[in-house]
Copies of this chain bind each other. A is one copy, B any other.
Amino acid sequence: MPRASVTRKVHFNAAHRVHNPRFSDEWNRDTFGECNNPNYHGHNYELELTVEGDIDPDTGYVLDLNRLKQIAEERILRRLDHKNLNLDVEWFKDLIPTSENVALVCWRELRAALPETLTLRLRLWETPRNYVDYQGA
């Protein structure tokens, strides 16, 4: 059975602040610079969802991308889009909302919603010039 990966991009806008409350304000300013602004800043996040698996001979699909988009909307976008990651999203109550950690929690949430036969990889663009890849390692 031939094996392929299919990818769907989804989008969300959010505010965040990169801050570790276990350290001093001075440490945070030194470490995170302008990303530590107490009043938050924000991004247009582009999230690429990649699913790898066998091509189903009946449908010619690894997975219907409309189904993947629907899962992402229910599990990810409903929680993150037009939100403040630090204040509005329970996942970041004890976790700094860097791109690395946003990708990590999205991966865990989506992983739980997909059949085990499918592999999941994520790429999260924070700006048009930087992104994070996470695949559960």
Contact = CB atoms under 8 A, between A and B. Distances in A.
Main secondary structure on A side of the interface with B: mixed
10 contacts: A4-B100, A5-B132, A6-B99, A37-B82, A40-B40, A40-B84, A41-B84, A60-B97, A62-B100, A65-B130
Interface of A: 2-9, 11, 13-16, 18, 20, 22-23, 31-35, 37, 39-44, 46, 50, 55, 58-62, 64-66, 81-84, 87-88, 95-101, 103-104, 127-134, 137
B37 A127 contact: no
Copies of this chain assembled into the complex? 6
A5 B84 CA distance: 24
Given A43-B13, A82-B37, A84-B37, A7 B130 contact: yes
